[in-house]
């Protein structure tokens, strides 16, 4: 029996969507301003997940993409031998808007984007029925009666021409009176019914999962009498898992049903890891889904301490607004070459980042041969991050602890001898303790890296970076992360 060890994907893996092909489950999540975009994880048992590829590598120009823009809310489906991912690109100039990509293998390569300029709104989905493809999207109402009033719409997609065709139908607005942001729509078929799964309440504390059904794909859709089928908002602000919503419903190998959804694990009202992917069992009563029958909420998080180290492949890292052409792997080391951009400049900076997966962990890097400003950063956004920064001079290295929240920045400085330097950040609910070569350099509040402080939709990432004059380098020789919970 599948053991649910939530979250099944830890750290910034929001807006999950899933499909099953020949006994393997494929799950995709949002990445916003980070590249490579739209990671695809695979599993044969829903317990163990492996990253197999990314749908977006270099198909878009990210240089103008702002914080928490970029790739919004993908949907993955499989039809007639092809994988399809529908998504929204925000902030990429003329390429912004809704699109889809295809691949014969979920690991890639994925196609060039097929842009759909007629598809207004966000959070698109593709559904297939009777040999035809349909595009499902959500958007704000043109003349809303309240802020955040949205609607879900449907239109046929001609796959041969890559165009929307035929009439457009609005199939849903909201379940509850004046409910905001009916978004993340997915349609699945079961026993002659079409089930529409949407989120409501916005992707924060009021988030929820709603379900409606219809005999015809175009409706009319009737709401589940037990809506919301999943939420944690009624559990109060002290519950350990919050902001539950944006779900996808799917059938397992043996006729069982499941739901993936995003949720957060806050500390004192602040979440820093981002929105993570969770899994729940689904049973059916009177033709309606029941999530975790007898519990009515997501299973509690399971502690999974772990450790890894060394220097992973460059392909295992995230970058901000650009591909990792500033990094070169030479044996067991990585050389970072400055792009000429300072950290926080809202331009592509030479930084290799990974998702923070625990608020009880220690992360460290070792840098050597430092020709330019370099260091270790914990990033929530350009305007909300903390970093230990090394600057070389003739005989020493100046190390500075920088904490930036909005327009405010604080600094503390010390000196170190030239040579290899290990920079460490020890993360706990009490805050982040920083050290260089084991010498303490100060602390910063953990809440500074939360979405509640910084805004936006992403979680915290961390890793080495180099800035300063274009072409200056630093060598990254060791890396480790120890999760204590």
* Catalytic-labelled residue, pool 67, 123, 183, 382: 183
Measured over the CA atoms of residue 190, residue 191, residue 194 and residue 200, the dihedral's sign is: negative
Side-chain half-sphere exposure of 343, counting CA atoms within 13 A: 32
183 included as an active-site residue: yes
The rounded distance, in Å, linking the Cα atoms of 244 and 285 is: 22
Q: Report pLDDT for 480.
A: 84
* DSSP symbol at 146: S
What DSSP assignment string belongs to 288-304?
Answer: EEEESTTT-SPPPP---
In this structure, which CATH number among 3.30.70.1150, 2.60.120.200, 2.40.128.20, 2.60.40.10 belongs to the domain 306-483?
2.60.120.200
CA-closest candidate to residue 383, choices 469, 274, 458, 464 = 458
Strands 193-200 and 473-483, sheet pairing: unpaired
Q: Report pLDDT for 178.
A: 86
Give pTM, 2 decimals.
0.96
Q: Report pLDDT for 342.
A: 80
Under 8 Å CB-to-CB from 430, ≥6 apart: which residues?
446
The rounded distance, in Å, linking the Cα atoms of 208 and 195 is: 16
Strands 122-129 and 461-466, sheet pairing: unpaired
The rounded distance, in Å, linking the Cα atoms of 98 and 115 is: 6
Question: In terms of C-beta density within 10 A (0-12 exposed, 13-18 middle, 19 or more buried), how is residue 369 classed?
Answer: middle
Query: In the sheet where 150-158 sits, what is the strand order?
Result: 122-129, 132-140, 150-158, 163-172
Under 8 Å CB-to-CB from 308, ≥6 apart: which residues?
480, 481
Matching residue, tokens 């992707």 = 203
Each residue's pLDDT expressed in tens, for the chain with a length of 485 residues: 677 899 999 999 999 999 999 999 999 999 999 999 999 999 999 999 999 999 999 999 998 899 999 999 999 999 999 999 999 999 877 778 999 999 999 999 999 999 999 999 999 999 999 999 999 999 999 999 999 999 999 999 999 999 999 999 999 998 888 889 999 999 999 999 999 999 999 999 999 999 999 999 999 999 999 999 999 999 999 999 999 999 999 999 889 999 999 999 999 999 999 999 999 999 999 999 999 999 999 999 988 877 777 776 788 899 999 899 999 998 889 999 999 888 767 777 899 999 999 999 999 999 998 888 999 999 999 999 999 999 988 788 999 999 988 767 777 788 888 889 999 999 999 999 999 999 999 999 999 999 999 999 999 999 999 988 899 899 998 888 888 86
Matching residue, tokens 């929240």 = 405
Tokens (6 digits) for 12:
């910034």
Tokens (6 digits) for 370:
């430092």
What DSSP assignment string belongs to 5-30?
Answer: -S-SB-SS--S-EEEEETTEEEEE--
CATH T-level fold of 17-291: Tachylectin-2; Chain A (2.115.10)
The rounded distance, in Å, linking the Cα atoms of 55 and 175 is: 33
* DSSP symbol at 202: -
Distance of CA 201 to the CA centre of its chain: 19
CA-closest candidate to residue 479, choices 367, 328, 364, 332 = 364
Domain ranges for the chain, please list them: 17-291, 306-483
Q: Report pLDDT for 1.
A: 64
Find out whether 25 and 17 touch, Cβ atoms under 8 Å: no
CA-closest candidate to residue 60, choices 110, 125, 134, 18 = 110
Measured over the CA atoms of residue 185, residue 187, residue 190 and residue 193, the dihedral's sign is: positive
**Burial track 110-147 (b if 16+ CB lie within 10 A, e otherwise):** bbebbbbeebebbbbbbbbeeeebbbbbbbeeeeeeee
Backbone angles phi, psi at 452, to 5 degrees: -65, -30
Q: Is the peptide bond before 109 cis (omega within 30 degrees of 0)?
A: yes
The rounded distance, in Å, linking the Cα atoms of 182 and 151 is: 7
Q: Report pLDDT for 94.
A: 75
Under 8 Å CB-to-CB from 340, ≥6 apart: which residues?
467, 468, 469, 470, 471
Query: In the sheet where 82-90 sits, what is the strand order?
Result: 70-79, 82-90, 97-103, 114-115
CA-closest candidate to residue 245, choices 297, 175, 193 = 297
Beta-ladder partners of 423: 365, 436
């Amino acid at each position: 029996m599948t053991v649910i060890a939530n979250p099944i994907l830890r750290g910034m893996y929001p807006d999950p969507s899933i499909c099953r092909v020949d006994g393997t489950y494929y799950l995709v999540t949002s990445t916003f301003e980070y590249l490579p975009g739209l990671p695809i994880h695979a599993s044969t048992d829903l317990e163990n997940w492996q990253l197999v590829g990314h749908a977006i590598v270099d198909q878009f120009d990210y240089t103008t993409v702002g914080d928490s823009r970029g790739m919004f809310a993908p949907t993955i489906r499989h039809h007639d031998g092809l994988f399809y991912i529908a998504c929204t690109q925000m902030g990429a100039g003329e390429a912004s808007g809704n699109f889809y990509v295809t691949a014969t293998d979920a690991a890639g390569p994925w196609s060039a984007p097929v842009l759909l300029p007629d598809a207004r709104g966000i959070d698109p989905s593709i559904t297939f029925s009777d040999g035809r493809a349909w595009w499902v999207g959500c958007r704000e109402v043109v003349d809303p009666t309240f802020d955040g009033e949205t609607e879900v719409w449907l239109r046929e997609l001609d796959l041969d021409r890559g165009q929307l065709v035929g009439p457009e139908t609005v199939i849903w607005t909201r379940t509850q009176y004046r409910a905001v942001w009916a978004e993340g729509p997915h349609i699945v078929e079961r026993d002659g019914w079409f089930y529409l799964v949407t989120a409501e309440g916005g992707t924060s504390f009021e988030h929820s999962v709603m379900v409606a059904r219809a005999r015809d794909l175009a409706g009319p859709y009737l709401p589940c009498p037990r809506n919301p089928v999943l939420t944690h908002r009624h559990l109060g602000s002290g519950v350990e898992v919050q902001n539950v919503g944006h779900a996808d419903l799917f059938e397992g190998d043996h006729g069982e049903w499941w739901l993936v959804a995003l949720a957060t694990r806050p500390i004192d009202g602040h979440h820093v890891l981002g929105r993570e992917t969770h899994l729940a069992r689904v049973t059916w009563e009177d033709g309606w889904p029941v999530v975790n029958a007898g519990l009515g909420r997501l299973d509690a998080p399971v502690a999974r301490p772990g450790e890894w180290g060394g220097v992973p492949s460059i392909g295992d890292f995230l970058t901000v607004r650009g591909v990792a052409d500033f990094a070169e792997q030479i044996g067991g080391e990585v050389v970072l070459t400055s792009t000429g951009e300072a950290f926080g400049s809202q331009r592509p900076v030479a930084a290799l980042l990974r998702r923070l997966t625990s608020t009880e962990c220690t992360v460290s890097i070792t840098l050597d041969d430092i020709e330019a400003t370099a260091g270790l950063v914990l990033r929530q956004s350009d305007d909300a991050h903390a970093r230990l920064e090394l600057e070389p001079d003739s005989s020493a290295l100046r190390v500075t602890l920088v904490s930036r929240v909005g327009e405010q920045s604080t600094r503390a400085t010390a000196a170190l001898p030239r040579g290899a330097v290990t920079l460490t950040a020890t993360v706990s609910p009490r805050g982040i303790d920083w050290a260089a070569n084991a010498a303490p350099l100060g602390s910063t509040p953990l809440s500074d890296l939360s979405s509640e402080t910084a805004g936006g939709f992403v979680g915290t990432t961390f890793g080495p970076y180099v800035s300063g004059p274009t072409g200056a380098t630093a060598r990254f020789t060791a890396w480790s992360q120890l999760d204590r919970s």
